[in-house]
Amino acid sequence: MTFDALMLQVIAGLATGGIYASLALALVMIYQATHLVNFAQGEMAMFCTYIAWALINAGMPYWGAFVLTVGIAFVFGVLIERLIIRPVENAPVLAVVVVFIGLLVILNSLAGWIFTYTIKSFPSPFGVQPLFGVRFMSPHQLGSIGVTVVVLALLYAFFRFTPLGLAMRAAAQNPESSRLVGIRVGWMLALGWGLAAAVGSIAGMMVAPIVYLDPNMMGGILLYAFAAALLGGIDSPGGAVVGGLVVGVLENVLGAFVIGNELKLVVALVLIIGVLVVRPSGFFGRVHVSRV
């Protein structure tokens, strides 16, 4: 293995890692707000990516379609929370998992029905000419890293500096007290779902040029995002980002040099079980102590 080859894989890993990080962040956002892990996150992103594809095919310019899709994804997330998740808010874990799984198969099947199962290519907005003579990086990789960074910065600023972001964090952390100071906790949860869906849709649009568009494209990616979220600590947004990058690099380097591309998903399986067994709170998560 030469240094160049290794660098190539590391950079490819960082680019896909950024995408995993976005999806992991979406998972963490929903986890923080509701203590639920959204199994349908990947399929929601896939469905939104199809919407973007349809818009672009209808003649819309890429960035117009991009913005519109993020908006649609947001509304879509809010609607799902209001209509489907809310009735089972206080139900046992199994019921909620079953609802998520139901959502997953419905979206998967609907996408196959509306857009057919043939694999489609998805355009990248970043062209094919290498930028600044960068040797290791394709423009799409560089672009998707850039988009990820922008999304992360925006989210950070939103949650740190805006009253709405603070209210959402408060609602997630302590619903009772938040309600007492006049925050509409239910709506904050719905907004959280909307934001998570929007972030997920960006991840979908960034990964689609690499893995191509088909209804099952997110299955593996969701698994990596789970691994990333767990590695960083399921309740730590910063951890999700670090976890995403680590998982992306590990997946690419191990896939290229150690175990071969066919077994890449097994990396995610081993990571998930390994983290859960050795250090369930991940690198940056809080250790939960429950009172008996």
Footprint on this chain of other proteins (rule: CB under 8 A): 36-37, 39, 84, 87-88, 91, 93-95, 97-99, 101-106, 108-110, 112-113, 219-220, 223, 226-227, 230, 260, 262-266, 268-269, 272-273, 276-277, 280, 292
Shorter beta-carbon distance to other proteins: residue 181 or 277:
277
How far is the C-alpha of 108 from the C-alpha of 255, rounded, in Å? 27
How far is the C-alpha of 135 from the C-alpha of 59, rounded, in Å? 33
Shorter beta-carbon distance to other proteins: residue 204 or 282:
282
CA distances from 21 to 36, 123, 135, 184, 292 (A): 18, 21, 24, 29, 35
User: Angle formed by the axes of helices 139-161 and 237-253, to 10°?
Assistant: 160
Please provide the distance, in angstroms rounded to a whole number, between the alpha carbons at the two ends of the chain.
53
Nearest to 230 by CA among 271, 289, 267, 287: 271
Cβ at position 276, least distance to other proteins in Å: 5
How far is the C-alpha of 193 from the C-alpha of 38, rounded, in Å? 10
CB under 8 A, 24+ apart: contacts of 5-9 = 5/256, 6/253, 6/257, 7/136, 8/136, 9/249, 9/252, 9/253, 9/256, 9/257
How far is the C-alpha of 40 from the C-alpha of 12, rounded, in Å? 26
Widest Cα–Cα separation across the chain: 61
Whether the CA torsion 27, 82, 64, 163 is positive or negative: it is negative
